[in-house]
Chain A
């Protein structure tokens, strides 16, 4: 069985200007889109709380949203997962503890309103959900707890800090309860007709989120750079930039998937980007390898022609590999929900652009670099010396 019978002779290189123009335009549009609208950052990077619940019986996302607001949640983001019968939803809240900018004010008012309290210092740490204050007289820990709870913020613990004394004043610390508890309470109150099961909660502090994002992006850049070095070392310096530009192109294209689809951009998305990077490089290398080989075989032929022959010769392999890898993703696409589905869908798109870029972006760029160098040296194009493997 053969997909492509006999030898093909398609002029890929002839179309390179159109391809590069089109790709550049799309890439710029995506970058502008990212700058303008941004990703739908997941809790991994933005920080916040994510609770996944599955209801008994059929419930709509609208019902969940309304119920959650009725139950006391402030601007929850509700997203349904899987099909309508699954009744599974992801609720996202900005904060990680119940102490948010709004609830903190109410809590502070409640504390200051306690009888016999005389506050000399008041500090809040919204990241960690802590309120620390110093008062002249002693207050009952339970009273503080009751006051904060009645203001709408759940409390995990109230402690009298060491070093408190009648002379220096009494220092208390209120640790607010986690946001996930509040989500559960709100849903129990707001959607009373259905019971639910908490399947997953993710809670990421804002600093950690930022750290994770920076690390993820750093990993991506580092991987690209190392690959560039390897390609330059194994092939020719002029191949490096082509491979790099093609992989940057693919990464941007897949980022575009997250931008347009508004799917959450999280740690798994970074994994997808890296996979696509690897895949696209793999594809590019195979074609480069062939170019290298044919440069030896057809010494003296102009580079564009050699590249065209190489792409045509590897065409059936390119289509086959992409097709088979796509085939292996079908299982994930059918059986995956939520994150797995996103993974498979983004990967599929990545395979398409990865295949396209190794044919239309990576190789033509090599021609361009070669022409430039030839022009500078005043020699003829195609003078590139191959390194033999």
Chain B
């Protein structure tokens, strides 16, 4: 055996052991954990042996196999954008009014996002146009006719705002679902205007729809000094040691800011809330602020704040936009109230100048800017200069949150799919039995038909199956029913590759070649056929993966992984084994 063979043999062993290793978390979650704990990562981590692959690399079951609800929400981005264009038009009017350049009226076409501005005095329009074109860069001029100026929202802005509307709806939906406490929710964007939500284990679609349909509660509440409140609470009635609640006392920070009074910190929102419930004192309430969130996911660490028990409701907010102030270079969030909200805001902010105004979404304090002066209909939160990219992102999050109470883009439920747990159990049992029976039939047939070479092909087939499962686990994919079907199909393709090779070898032997030469020639000549056949199927797989939704995508993922695995097993694995059988043992014949 030459070195080349050993290298390839080593690779095959490595891949085989590697795929088994990647399947350990899957094995433990399916067969060691209780059925109810299957999605619980922390429980899985406890039972996993130290040598195992990380718990996150595991194959989870799709909703169709474990039961649960799949929801697709459609966000009416067009309506949202129409409203937004209208609001921007009104901002133009008040901006021009503020600069004392003239009086304008607007009509907004909410479908083309075209704003027609008419000046009271046509003579003022030249100056107005110049000002608007330089200030409102999201718009470009369409036409100008004496005192009538038509401006249109740029298409890049339209795309951006549309995707923002979906992001905003996603934020709201996530917050609402978080409140529900479902273990492993998956919320993701689907296409350009839809949100897909997976709720494993849930069984009441009506309740899900109702919950998602309710509006989030946004409020403005004045932040109170909490002094030693939390310190006293912590020392007098210590929390349950298992609740993970700690008291944080800060020192003067590096920028020389005064130390903030001690506060509580915890990782479990409900435990922390239960501990501080009713401890705020008369007219006050303890609120949580998220200080650390896992990337793109829910909050994982909270700290406590004290706010007034009553405040100003966010339902009167009509809009909020994050932007960079062109003059001061500050990153700011501008927000607008309707007439009623403006009046209330004036009242609240008027008596609380220089105090912090907490922006509260449901139970969370999202931000607490200091009130500099009385705020009426139009407010501005200044986030400062800082690293502008990060600040801008922060500002966008804040403006999203401000708007989330209002939910300007109407959301409708496009799709609901519920699979009962019992059906899921039945399907997974039948699906795996079906796949195993298929595999077994093929394995037996190959061994009978091609004898030793058939057994070699069988080893490759089984490794192929392992590789597919490990690949799915590696990509943290879910196994769905169409996925099982895709699995069966790739088995067929993998078998085909082996049939091609073995038929070639037989032909070469019939043509009078020696065993060794026949094997080498057979593999070489079958290679391009196998390659072409796999690549064409792979192309179909990728297109499905990109354009398909739901079940089709699950099928495509398995198909893609399966094709790549099949290419490896049929070309590399079987050849290593056959080479050993023929060259290694210096065999004069090949059993095919």
Q: Do chains A and B interact in one complex?
A: yes
- Please list the residues of chain A having a beta carbon within 8 angstroms of any beta carbon in chain B: 1, 52, 127-128, 156-157, 162, 175, 177-178, 180-181, 197-205, 207-208, 212, 215-216, 218-219, 222-223, 226-227, 230-231, 234, 267-268, 270-271, 274-275, 277-279, 281-282, 285-286, 289-290, 293, 313-314, 316-317, 320-321, 324-325, 327-332, 334-337, 339-340, 343-344, 347, 389
Inter-chain contact B430/A215, CB cutoff 8 Å: no
Inter-chain contact B489/A331, CB cutoff 8 Å: no
Inter-chain contact B442/A286, CB cutoff 8 Å: no
Inter-chain contact A200/B420, CB cutoff 8 Å: yes
Nearest B residue (CB) for A325 = B492
Inter-chain contact A332/B434, CB cutoff 8 Å: yes
Q: Is B528 an interface residue (CB 8 A)?
A: yes
Closest Cβ of chain B: how far from A336's Cβ, in Å?
6
- Take A200-B423, A223-B540, A324-B492 as given contacts and tell me if A205 and B499 are in contact as well, using a CB distance cutoff of 8 Å: no
Main secondary structure of the interface of A (DSSP, over half): helix
A304 to B495, CA, bound (A): 30
Q: Specify which of B206, B412, B419, B548 is in contact with A181 (CB 8 Å cutoff).
A: B206
Inter-chain contact A162/B441, CB cutoff 8 Å: no
Q: Specify which of A1, A207, A330 is in contact with B438 (CB 8 Å cutoff).
A: A330
A337 to B213, CA, bound (A): 35
Inter-chain contact A156/B536, CB cutoff 8 Å: no
Q: Specify which of B210, B417, B535, B555 is in contact with A202 (CB 8 Å cutoff).
A: B417
Inter-chain contact B441/A330, CB cutoff 8 Å: yes
Residues of A within 8 A of B427 (CB): 340
Inter-chain contact A278/B552, CB cutoff 8 Å: no
Q: Is B244 an interface residue (CB 8 A)?
A: no
Inter-chain contact A331/B488, CB cutoff 8 Å: yes
Q: Is B543 an interface residue (CB 8 A)?
A: yes
A-B contacts, 17 listed (Cβ < 8 Å): A201-B205, A205-B412, A208-B72, A215-B547, A268-B482, A271-B482, A279-B493, A293-B525, A321-B492, A321-B496, A321-B499, A329-B488, A331-B433, A331-B436, A340-B427, A340-B434, A340-B481
Q: Specify which of A175, A199, A207, A286 is in contact with B533 (CB 8 Å cutoff).
A: A286
Q: Specify which of A162, A286, A320, A335 is in contact with B433 (CB 8 Å cutoff).
A: A335
Residues of A within 8 A of B74 (CB): 205, 207-208
Inter-chain contact B438/A328, CB cutoff 8 Å: yes
Inter-chain contact A222/B547, CB cutoff 8 Å: yes
Inter-chain contact B495/A325, CB cutoff 8 Å: yes
Inter-chain contact B547/A199, CB cutoff 8 Å: no
Q: Specify which of B422, B435, B449 is in contact with A197 (CB 8 Å cutoff).
A: B422
Q: Is B315 an interface residue (CB 8 A)?
A: yes
Q: Is B378 an interface residue (CB 8 A)?
A: no
Which parts of B405-430 form the interface with A (CB within 8 Å)?
A: 412-420, 422-423, 427, 430
Nearest A residue (CB) for B419 = A200
A274-B544, A328-B488 known, 14 other contacts, Cβ within 8 Å: A178-B205, A197-B422, A199-B420, A200-B417, A200-B418, A203-B415, A208-B74, A227-B536, A227-B539, A227-B540, A278-B537, A279-B537, A324-B445, A324-B492
A1 to B528, CA, bound (A): 26
Inter-chain contact B537/A281, CB cutoff 8 Å: yes
Inter-chain contact A331/B438, CB cutoff 8 Å: yes
Inter-chain contact A277/B540, CB cutoff 8 Å: yes
Total number of B residues with any Cβ neighbor in A under 8 Å = 74
- Take A127-B412, A223-B543, A230-B539 as given contacts and tell me if A203 and B205 are in contact as well, using a CB distance cutoff of 8 Å: yes
- Take A328-B442, A340-B485 as given contacts and tell me if A285 and B532 are in contact as well, using a CB distance cutoff of 8 Å: yes
Q: Is B550 an interface residue (CB 8 A)?
A: yes
Q: Is B551 an interface residue (CB 8 A)?
A: yes
A-contact 0/1 string along B470-499, CB 8 Å cutoff: 000000000001100110110111011001
Closest Cβ of chain A: how far from B556's Cβ, in Å?
8
A-contact 0/1 string along B529-567, CB 8 Å cutoff: 100110111011101100111111001000100000000
Residues of A within 8 A of B417 (CB): 200-203
Residues of A within 8 A of B493 (CB): 279, 282, 325
Inter-chain contact B423/A52, CB cutoff 8 Å: yes
Q: Is B448 an interface residue (CB 8 A)?
A: yes
A55 to B367, CA, bound (A): 53
Q: Is B431 an interface residue (CB 8 A)?
A: yes
- Please list the residues of chain B having a beta carbon within 8 angstroms of any beta carbon in chain A: 72, 74, 194, 205-206, 209-210, 213, 315, 412-420, 422-423, 427, 430-431, 433-439, 441-442, 445-446, 448-451, 481-482, 485-486, 488-489, 491-493, 495-496, 499-500, 503, 507, 525, 528-529, 532-533, 535-537, 539-541, 543-544, 547-552, 555, 559
Inter-chain contact B437/A199, CB cutoff 8 Å: no
- Take A208-B74, A282-B496, A328-B439 as given contacts and tell me if A334 and B415 are in contact as well, using a CB distance cutoff of 8 Å: no
Closest Cβ of chain B: how far from A207's Cβ, in Å?
7
A212 to B11, CA, bound (A): 42
A177 to B422, CA, bound (A): 25
- Take A199-B422, A282-B496 as given contacts and tell me if A208 and B414 are in contact as well, using a CB distance cutoff of 8 Å: yes
- Take A208-B74, A327-B445 as given contacts and tell me if A317 and B430 are in contact as well, using a CB distance cutoff of 8 Å: no
Residues of A within 8 A of B486 (CB): 275
Residues of B within 8 A of A327 (CB): 438, 441-442, 445
Inter-chain contact B205/A226, CB cutoff 8 Å: no
Closest Cβ of chain B: how far from A200's Cβ, in Å?
5
A242 to B419, CA, bound (A): 43
Closest Cβ of chain B: how far from A279's Cβ, in Å?
8
Residues of B within 8 A of A344 (CB): 485
Closest Cβ of chain B: how far from A70's Cβ, in Å?
23
Nearest B residue (CB) for A243 = B536
Closest Cβ of chain B: how far from A44's Cβ, in Å?
9
Residues of B within 8 A of A270 (CB): 548, 552
A324 to B64, CA, bound (A): 28
Inter-chain contact B552/A332, CB cutoff 8 Å: no
- Take A203-B416, A223-B539, A328-B442 as given contacts and tell me if A289 and B551 are in contact as well, using a CB distance cutoff of 8 Å: no
Nearest A residue (CB) for B446 = A324
